[in-house]
């Protein structure tokens, strides 16, 4: 019989560093969302604006966690269990921000901050103490600047790129595609000693320098 893997949330920094908040019941499902941001640059003569990649959005992990302490020690307060997760949204005094965490369940390991948490209490003892709760949790992917720089591809728009001119190419169109702004065509012209942007030599390789 396979051993059951229990999901847990572990604080990576702060006063609760390395403490694990284990869930009572593993989630029945979870969803991962990924997106990108694009800027649009309208160009005369084109029916649609030119879209240019700006940056990627952080991945989002959402799930529902179920807690039930009704049959545990005569129905103990379920908030003692949910507090282990909700406290990770509080500002940590040592880092002056909510701590980054790691959600781990079997092969899934997701480094993030808890962006949103909704607690719904659905069962109570006669004295009003809650013994059953459902938590809707949203994690937003967290990466340090160092981690992001180490993952950045060498072909990123922050680095010089090279492009071979094709028939019909225009510097303002290239600027719109590469930088998201057709008005910066002069940067390309200056980097390649192009005096007349209307006379481009097909087949010539030009350099697209980083902005700033």
| CATH code for position 163 | 3.10.350.10
* Domain harbouring 64, CATH code: 2.40.30
Q: Do 10 and 102 form a contact (C-beta atoms < 8 A)?
A: yes
Same domain, 190 and 203: yes
- 141 C-beta neighbours (distance < 10 Å), count: 18
DSSP bridge pairs for 141: 112
pLDDT, position 74: 67
pLDDT, position 181: 80
Exposure string of 52-61, with b = 16+ CB inside 10 Å and e = fewer, is beeeeebbbb
Residue 120 domain boundaries: 8-150
Exposure string of 168-198, with b = 16+ CB inside 10 Å and e = fewer, is eeebbbbbbbbbbebebbebbbeebebeeee
DSSP-assigned letter for residue 184 = G
In this prediction, residues 31-37 reach a mean pLDDT of: 90
What percentage of the chain exceeds 70 in pLDDT?
88
> pLDDT tens digits for 114-159?
999 999 999 999 999 999 999 999 999 998 777 776 765 544 445 6
Same domain, 144 and 164: no
Q: What is the model's pTM?
A: 0.68
pLDDT, position 1: 46
- 27 C-beta neighbours (distance < 10 Å), count: 16
Alpha-carbon distance of 77 to 81, in angstroms, equals 8
Give me the number of domains the chain comprises. Answer: 2
**3-7, 33-37, 72-76, 99-103 — which one is most confidently predicted on average?**
99-103
Alpha-carbon distance of 115 to 60, in angstroms, equals 9
Q: Do 85 and 137 form a contact (C-beta atoms < 8 A)?
A: yes
> pLDDT tens digits for 41-80?
776 667 777 776 667 788 999 999 999 988 766 688 999 9
Alpha-carbon distance of 154 to 156, in angstroms, equals 5
Query: Does 2 fall in a domain?
Result: no
pLDDT, position 16: 93
Q: How confident is the model at residue 176 (pLDDT cuts 50, 70, 90)?
A: confident
């Amino acid at each position: 019989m396979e051993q059951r893997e229990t999901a847990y949330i572990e604080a990576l920094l702060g006063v609760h560093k390395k403490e694990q908040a284990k869930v009572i019941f593993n989630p029945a499902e979870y969803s991962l969302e990924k997106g990108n941001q694009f800027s649009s640059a309208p160009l005369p003569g084109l029916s649609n604006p030119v879209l240019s990649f700006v940056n990627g959005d952080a991945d989002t992990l959402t799930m529902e966690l179920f807690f039930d302490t009704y049959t545990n020690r005569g129905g103990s307060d379920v908030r003692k269990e949910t507090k282990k997760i909700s406290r990770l949204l509080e500002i940590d005094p040592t880092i002056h921000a909510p701590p980054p965490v790691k959600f781990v369940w079997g092969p899934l390991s997701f480094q993030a901050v808890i962006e949103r948490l909704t607690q719904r209490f659905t069962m109570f003892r006669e004295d009003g103490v809650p013994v059953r709760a459902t938590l809707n949790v949203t994690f937003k992917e967290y990466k340090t600047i160092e981690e992001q720089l180490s993952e950045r591809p060498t072909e990123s728009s922050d680095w010089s790129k090279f492009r071979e001119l094709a028939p019909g190419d225009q510097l303002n169109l290239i600027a719109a595609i590469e930088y998201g702004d057709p008005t910066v065509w002069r940067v390309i012209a200056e980097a390649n000693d192009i005096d007349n942007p209307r006379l481009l030599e097909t087949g010539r390789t030009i350099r697209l320098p980083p902005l700033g």
